[in-house]
Chains A and B, each alone.
Chain A
Amino acid sequence: MMIDRETRRRLFETVANRVIANVDELTDLDRAIGDGDHGTNMRRGFEAVLAAADELSAKSFGESLKGVGTTLVMKVGGASGPLYGTLLLSLGKSLADDVSREQVIEAFAAAIEAVKARGKSDAGQKTMLDVLFPVLAVLREGGEGLAARLKAAAKLAAENTIPMRAIRGRASFLGERSIGHMDPGARSSALIIGAVADVIEGVA
């Protein structure tokens, strides 16, 4: 698949707008088990991405992903800045404009490892990783209607964090009381994956 300049711009704008449109939900989720700043932090980061979308998409796919990552690192303010930033910086290192599914799988798997290291976390701890891993599994399966299945898998995976007990992040301070709430980082990851899937579906 060729990710040309126009696709890159649409990708960054769609993701940024999706996050911004759902800021209130992220804030509410984070108020329940965190410190309530995930929504505003993500809005600050993605508003900066939106403002730079045109300029960023003029660069190669790899360089533009790194640019989005750096923007999030610098602007988000919470731990989610470095976590999403690390994910994108890692993806940007290995993805070229013309990408195959195999290359995306390899790059995404490496990026998840980088996020794991940055957050000193792993699957099953009520974090964004609990969305990223199931998405990687569906990506590996491949097959018909992949984009729609990626989106559905991400949404379901975020909902599956509800009964989990938080081990990492601010929610871990709550211990048992973190059970029963969706993880805000898992939700924002599902929103981002969903937006990416929508753009891919339009391209394919």
Chain B
Amino acid sequence: MNKNVGIVIVSHSADVARGTALMVEQMVGRDVPLGWCGGDPEGGLGTNVEAIMAAIDKAWSEKGVAILVDLGGAETNSEMAIEMLPESRRSRVVVCNAPVVEGAVMAATEAASGATLEAVRRTAEELTPA
């Protein structure tokens, strides 16, 4: 069982998602379960509910999963993906209102310390002006 909150990165671009995941791995290490996805179902720019659900599964931790998104559709599709999860998991996944790259690194740093899902989300969202 993963002892830390998992982080999922959802971008319209697979390259951005992969690049962000690499930055998280390099800066924070591999103690944080990490999932990422980008692109629509045909591989163009966009987001994809099925891929987001798979990324949540990959990053799954009993402590929960924090999702970082880029633009509008990534957020809407992530919220939809959460709703389609089994009920037992639904309440333990949150979308953070934070910039995707900085948010992912900050959230993962917090998660690596063993913080709760709420603390991870708060840390990521400190980057967003109130």
Instruction: Using CB atoms and an 8 Å cutoff, list the residues of chain A in contact with chain B.
Output: 35, 37, 40-41, 44, 73-75, 77-79, 81-83, 85-86, 118-119, 168-170
Which of A40, A74, A77, A119 has the largest number of chain B CB atoms within 10 A? A77
Taking a contact as CB atoms closer than 8 A, the residue among B45, B46, B84 that contacts A73 in the complex is B84
B48 touches A77 (CB 8 A): yes
Taking a contact as CB atoms closer than 8 A, the residue among A35, A74, A82 that contacts B41 in the complex is A74
B80 touches A86 (CB 8 A): yes
Q: Is B71 an interface residue (CB 8 A)?
A: yes
Q: Which residues of B contact A41 (CB under 8 A)?
A: 40, 46
With A74-B41, A77-B41 known to touch, is A118 a contact of B76 (CB < 8 Å)? yes
**CA A6 to CA B80, docked complex, whole Å:** 30
Taking a contact as CB atoms closer than 8 A, the residue among B40, B46, B71, B80 that contacts A82 in the complex is B80
Within 36-75 of B, Cβ neighbours of A (below 8 Å) are at 40-42, 44-50, 71-73
**CA A69 to CA B73, docked complex, whole Å:** 17
A-B contact pairs, 5 of them (CB 8 A): A35-B45, A77-B41, A77-B44, A118-B76, A169-B72
Q: Which residues of A contact B46 (CB under 8 A)?
A: 37, 41, 77-78
A74 touches B49 (CB 8 A): yes
Which of A73, A83, A118 has the largest number of chain B CB atoms within 10 A? A73
Taking a contact as CB atoms closer than 8 A, the residue among B44, B45, B72, B84 that contacts A79 in the complex is B72
A79 touches B42 (CB 8 A): no
Q: List 14 extra interface pairs beyond A77-B40, A78-B73, A118-B79, CB under 8 A.
A: A44-B42, A73-B80, A75-B41, A77-B41, A77-B47, A77-B48, A78-B47, A79-B72, A79-B76, A81-B80, A82-B49, A82-B77, A82-B80, A85-B80
Q: Which residues of B contact A77 (CB under 8 A)?
A: 40-42, 44, 46-48, 73
A40 nearest in chain B by CB position: B44
Q: Which residues of B contact A170 (CB under 8 A)?
A: 71-72
With A37-B46, A170-B71, A170-B72 known to touch, is A78 a contact of B80 (CB < 8 Å)? no
Q: Which residues of A contact B72 (CB under 8 A)?
A: 79, 168-170
Instruction: Using CB atoms and an 8 Å cutoff, list the residues of chain B in contact with chain A.
Output: 40-42, 44-50, 71-73, 76-77, 79-80, 84
B79 touches A82 (CB 8 A): yes
**CA A182 to CA B41, docked complex, whole Å:** 27
A74 touches B50 (CB 8 A): yes
A78 touches B40 (CB 8 A): yes
* Minimum C-beta distance from B17 to chain A (A): 14
Q: Which residues of A contact B77 (CB under 8 A)?
A: 79, 81-82
Taking a contact as CB atoms closer than 8 A, the residue among A35, A44, A118 that contacts B80 in the complex is A118
Q: Which residues of A contact B76 (CB under 8 A)?
A: 79, 82-83, 118-119
Q: Which residues of B contact A119 (CB under 8 A)?
A: 76
Taking a contact as CB atoms closer than 8 A, the residue among A44, A79, A85 that contacts B73 in the complex is A79
**CA A41 to CA B72, docked complex, whole Å:** 15
**CA A118 to CA B75, docked complex, whole Å:** 10
Q: Which residues of A contact B73 (CB under 8 A)?
A: 77-79
Q: Which residues of A contact B71 (CB under 8 A)?
A: 170
